[in-house]
Amino acid sequence: MAVPRDDMGYPVDVPGPVARVVSLVPSLTEAIACTRPEVLVGATDWCSHPPGLAVARVRGTKNPDRAAVAALRPDLVVANKEENRALDVRRLREAGIPVWVTVTESVPQALASLERLVTTALDRPVPGWLAAAARLWAGPPPAARARVAVPVWRDPWMVVGARTFTGDLVGRLGLANAFADGPGRYPRVALADIERAGVDLVLLPDEPYPFSGDDGPEAFGRVPTALVSGRLLTWYGPSLIEAHARLRGLPGAAAGPRPPR
């Protein structure tokens, strides 16, 4: 039987059934905890969902404690091309630990990646939450009803750019990303550039930068802003169901298909 390959095309040879998993990605942590909770033994400090998750913590996505990961004796570590460093993935593999790397630059790609992770790496059928999310987000993006910018950092200001999961997600809500055609996936911009981009709305998520009522909206004098859960804008996994229900209420967002009964 051929050795399965992760989203990067790297062969991941897992001896026997996977019984111990360490996740280095909050979205994947939530997905595994809602699918095979008994196998999840470690996660990053940023893995906040599901609430009350009781597993060992291995520091952050960009600076995981590799010794702590190894000490958990995982059959598999799950990571993401964007969120985790190639160096950490390589060092874990050099230590003999199988690592499955996902690539998620759009909603369809994220859904397909999650299905492969569950059915191939974890050897389980497609869970109900994943099937429901696939139904909710199926179909082509609607015509854009509004133009938005999505900052992810300030001082310096950085925004969601091209080939990003978040940019694709807002597009599927009928919101055109004003910086989708610019250079880079998360370009640095001047504050004035955001206002000059002709946006109807600035979406301010609470992660990775913790925008809040008194940190973010005051910077935009002429453009309306909306504070949004970063989990709903940037996470993939079970959060996609909640994101579809709640983000359709954003100004200018398309109603989209109704949740299945």
pLDDT digits (tens, 9 = 90+) for 30-78: 999 999 999 999 999 999 999 999 999 999 999 999 999 999 999 999 9
User: Per-residue pLDDT for the chain (261 aa), expressed as one digit of tens each?
Assistant: 688 999 999 999 987 889 999 999 999 999 999 999 999 999 999 999 999 999 999 999 999 999 999 999 999 999 999 999 999 999 999 999 999 999 999 999 999 999 999 999 999 999 999 999 999 999 899 999 999 999 999 999 999 999 999 999 999 999 999 999 977 899 999 999 998 999 999 999 999 999 999 999 999 988 999 999 999 999 999 999 999 999 998 988 875 544 443
**Is 89 domain-assigned?**
yes
Q: Is there a single domain that holds both residue 178 and residue 224?
A: yes
Q: Is there a single domain that holds both residue 86 and residue 168?
A: no
Query: What φ, ψ does residue 219 adopt, rounded to 5°?
Result: -75, -15
Q: Is there a single domain that holds both residue 29 and residue 116?
A: yes
Q: Is there a single domain that holds both residue 214 and residue 155?
A: yes
Q: Is there a single domain that holds both residue 64 and residue 38?
A: yes
Q: Is there a single domain that holds both residue 183 and residue 132?
A: no
Q: Is there a single domain that holds both residue 169 and residue 196?
A: yes
Catalogue the E-assigned strands of the chain. Answer: 21-23, 40-43, 56-57, 76-80, 99-102, 146-149, 151-153, 158-159, 175-177, 201-205, 225-228
Instruction: Quote the domain boundaries for residue 231.
Output: 146-247
Average pLDDT score over the chain: 94
Q: Is there a single domain that holds both residue 70 and residue 128?
A: yes
Per the structure block, which two tokens stand in for 196?
């000059």
**Is 169 domain-assigned?**
yes
**Is 213 domain-assigned?**
yes
**pLDDT digit string, tens, across residues 63-73:** 999 999 999 99
Q: CATH number for the domain including 121?
A: 3.40.50.1980
